[in-house]
Each structure stands twice: as structure tokens, then as C-alpha cells.
Amino acid sequence: MVYVIDFGSQYSHLIGRRVRALGVEATLLPFTAPLSQLKNAKAIILSGGPSSAYAVGAPSYSKQIFTLGIPVLGVCYGMQLMAQQLGGKVERGKKGEYGPAILKTVRSSRLFVKVPKQSHVWMSHGDIVTKLSAGFSLIAKTNNSPDAAMANEKKKLYGIQFHPEVEHTDYGTMILKNFLFTIAKCEKDWNISGKAEEKVAQIKKTVGDAQVVAAVSGGVDSTVTAALISRAIGSQLTAIFVNHGLARKNEPTEVRAILSQLGCRVRYVNAKKQFLSKLRGVTFGEQKRKIIGGEFIKTFDRAVKQMKSRPTFLAQGTIYSDVIESAAASSGKTARVIKSHHNVGGLPKHLKWKLIEPLRDLYKDEVRELGEALGLPRALVWRQPFPGPGLAIRVAGEVTPEKLRIVRDADQIVRDEIQRIKKEDEFYHYFAQVLSQKTVGLTGDERAYAYPVVVRIITSSDIMTAEWARLPHEFLARLSWRITNEVKGVTRVLYDITSKPPATTEWE
């Protein structure tokens, strides 16, 4: 078992995901967890975090962790905390280092076996280690971080200022492999198929003979959740699909067809007018999310009251990235909220349901693997991700029927064109976004004020980090031509070339 001690980084869970992707079981623990929980650890990784190690009240951990004889890897804040606690010194750097940097190794180390002397890494810090602890050697540096990596080879203690868990670090996976297998001698003991049976058993034990109602949107997460719970308890599950009027083109029909294949009871609720009415005049994305989340709960509550038997549990397709971006998983309250998710944070106190979220510890790629392990059709499992609030957050500013029509039609064209060039499996996400500010254009020989549409196409393995897709100009030109010619009310198309970070996947 590898334990990742969470100091509030947005990437803490991603470290665990990378470890699991290498076949080793990993568990995230808050920095408040007692030392006794680490007794069976094969290795320990200290995560990054937004605090300064030298600040009063900064998150910390018992320095006895470094005397257990267990290999420890400190990442970013984790490195700084290690240095601070073992007699080194951490100070504010003259300038921050955020984004790509060139790492130069200066001494051989088991951590950097098969890593070139010079490689690209991803940095995200303002503090630096200015004095190494006794017994440590400098093993790498960057232009802005003279001590970018340190090692005490004898005690198997290592610190790196950069993030090996993100895709932007060229040899991050190799560094983790070196730490896990060469240094810590871990064994491969993690696979998603075994996890499926484990989760089925957990659901049976948790639910017993109670009734469960599932909030199913037709997306990957909620559908896999329904399939998993259905396998565990069968007819005790009722899947409720709420048509909030914010779905993609033709999606309500497609969703109902998918749900009919799961073999569980399905209830359909048409709530389009209700949701659009509540969103009238609302322009801020966070407020939209909260309104939609609240209306979902109300709608489910009404639908459930019409059922013959009252359910005890509400199942949701919450996954790791939802939790991280809402900062709901950081027990030390050190994570920063990026955006709230309507399915994160629990239920209102007046509702008596208990939450069951079987995917809460899995990332999107793991959820897809789980779906395939459950025997779901590949077309369903690899369905394009779609946020719970739907097109409300792909419409900048106020949500109106006109904007919804524009974004639906434009989005369908994007999907059609991706399918035409047979790239559905190559990109993680591809969709259209309509902006709120009209711009001038030409329709025939007349000036026209119309909405700009933004196309976003990204590549990613886990959505914690993402890169914009480098597409041929001819393809982008065809997209622009089709959208401006076939979608009424659009005279301008833009292509989003921003990575994550600094951007998020969605605009709102």
C-alpha cells in the first residue's frame, strides 16, 4: 500500500491515480491522519499544497514519518515540509515558478534512473528550499530553483520541487516508477476488474434490503453508477432521468434508449420549463450550478414521493475530479475551490436520504474501465463527458432559448466533424460554447450582430490536466464554415488554445 498524504493540492488525488495506473494500490490520507495509519505502508508520498511550510499554522505532519524506515517522496510543498522539518530552510523565492521548466540533473540518483540529464517538468510554487537538510544531496535544479530535487539515498528520503503526476512533466511516470519499484520495492496489486467486484460487495453490504434511487443523466459517470448498483441489488434500484432542457441535441431520446438497456426501473421527468424559469436572468456560472443542483434535489424529491416505496439511498455518479474541483475532499480545508459541482457536498438536512457514491474514489478513465468490466457497450462507456448542469455552463451569461439552440446546433456540428475524421477516441472532450457578447459580422451584404461560438477540443487521460488539440487548419476552417453557415445567429467562430491549467475544461 502507498499512502499519499494530502496537504491540499489540487493534484493530490492525481498522485494516487498515477500510482494506481502503475498497478500499485494507493490511498489518500489527510495530513491530520495519525501516524499509526501508516504502519503497513510500502511507500509514502507527501503531496503539494497552497501553503508555505514556514508559515504559522501551515499544514504539517509528525516528523517521525521520516524515521519509520519507509521510503518517502515529497512533492512540491511535500519537499519543502521535509526540508523544513529536518533542519533545512525554506524561503520565498525571488520569483514564482508556474508552468513548464527545464530540469537539469546534477548528481546520479535512483530516483532519476533512465531520466535524461535535461527534461521538461511542471512547476507550481512560490517558495524554494534554500538550505538542504543534513544527509541530503542536491540532485537536480532549474533556472529558478537551485534546489529542485534532493535525496538522502541511505534513508530513502527524496524531495522534488516539480509535479511528476501531471502530463506536462516528460518523465514523471518514470520517476514514480523508480520510486515505487526500484526504491520502495512495491508489488503490483491493483486492477479495476477486482475493484468492480469489491464495489458490488460494498454496495450489497451498505444497502441491504433497502431501496435506492439513482440520479441518472445518461452520461458515463451516472450510467456506470446505475449499472454497478443494478448488478449489486437489481430491482431495488430505480433510475430517475430528469430532462432539464439543458441537454445536447437529441440527447433525451438517446439517454432513455440507453437506460432501457440497463435492466433497472426507469422514471422519466420532463422539467424543462422549471429549470429554464429558475435560470432566467442568472449570468454567473457558479450561481447557475447551485440553482441547477437545488432544482435537481427538489425534482428528485417530488419524483420519489410518487414512488410506491420510499428509497433510503440516493445514488450519484460523483467522481474524484468533481470532488477535487469543489475542494470537498480536503479534510484540512487547504484546497482552493475551483468550481462547485451540483453533486458534491451532501444533501440538504431536511432530506432523509443517505448518499451512496460508488465512483467517488475513481477518475474518469477508471470509470470507463469499470464500465467495460461491467459489460456495458463501448459506445456508451466512451460517450463524451457532459457536465451535470448541462448546456447552462456552455452558455456564457444568461441562459436563453436562442443561445441553447445555437450551442446545440454548433455542438452537433463539432461532434459530426470529429466523427467524420474518425477521431472520437483520440480526444477527451470536444464541444461548442456560446459567448454572451454579440459581435459584428456580415450576413449577405448586411451587417449583423450575432453571438460568437468557441470550439474546445482537448486531449487528456484524467481531466486533471489537459492540452488543446493541435488540429489541421483545414479542419478548423471547415468547422468555422459549417457553424457560421448552418447555425442561425452566429457570424464568428473561435478555437480555444488554452491548456488546463491555467484554464478549466468548461468556461463557466
Q: What is the pLDDT of residue 350?
A: 60
> Is 163 one of the annotated active-site residues of the chain?
yes
Q: Considering the domain 192-381, what is its CATH architecture?
A: 3-Layer(aba) Sandwich (3.40)
Does residue 496 have a known ligand-binding role? no
Q: What is the pLDDT of residue 89?
A: 92
Give average pLDDT by consecutive 10-residue segment, the chain, 508 residues.
90 88 91 90 93 89 93 95 93 79 95 96 86 95 90 97 90 97 94 86 94 85 90 90 91 82 84 95 92 89 87 87 52 42 52 86 85 83 81 95 96 95 89 93 78 94 82 96 95 94 85
In words, the CATH class of domain 394-495 is alpha beta
Cell readout for 413 is 456540428
One-letter identity of residue 42: K
CA 304 to CA 265: how far, in whole Å? 13
Helix axes 285-305, 272-279, angle to 10 degrees: 150
Q: Pick the catalytic residue: 163, 168, 341, 342?
A: 163
Half-sphere exposure of 34 (CA within 13 A, CB side): 3
The set of residues, in sequence order, having a beta carbon less than 8 Å from that of 287 and lying 6+ positions away, is none
Does residue 87 have a known ligand-binding role? no
Helix axes 220-233, 251-259, angle to 10 degrees: 20
Domains 192-381 and 394-495 share a fold: no
Q: What is the pLDDT of residue 342?
A: 45
β-sheet bridge partners, residue 100: 122
Does residue 23 have a known ligand-binding role? no
The set of residues, in sequence order, having a beta carbon less than 8 Å from that of 92 and lying 6+ positions away, is 52, 126, 127, 128
Does residue 74 have a known ligand-binding role? no
3-state secondary structure 414-456: HHHHHHHCCCCCCCCEEEEEECCCCEEEEECCEEEEEEEEEEE
Superfamily holding 2-183: Class I glutamine amidotransferase (GATase) domain (3.40.50.880)
Q: Pick the catalytic residue: 13, 76, 357, 417?
A: 76
| Cis ω for the linkage preceding 501 (within 30 of 0) | yes
Q: Model pTM greater than 0.75?
A: no
Interior CA angle at 122 toward 116 and 127, to 5°? 115
CA 184 to CA 165: how far, in whole Å? 17
- In this structure, the strands spanning 467-468 and 212-215 are unpaired
Q: What is the pLDDT of residue 351?
A: 65
CA 376 to CA 71: how far, in whole Å? 40
One-letter identity of residue 328: A
Which three-class secondary structure state does DSSP give residue 162? coil
Asked whether 185 and 177 are in contact (CB, 8 A), the reply is no
Q: What is the pLDDT of residue 383?
A: 77
Q: Pick the catalytic residue: 13, 97, 125, 165?
A: 165
pLDDT digits (tens, 9 = 90+) for 337-394: 434 444 445 555 666 788 999 998 887 888 988 998 888 878 778 877 788 789 999 9
Domain boundaries, the chain: 2-183, 192-381, 394-495
One-letter identity of residue 360: R
> Is 76 one of the annotated active-site residues of the chain?
yes
CA 503 to CA 369: how far, in whole Å? 27
Does residue 223 have a known ligand-binding role? yes
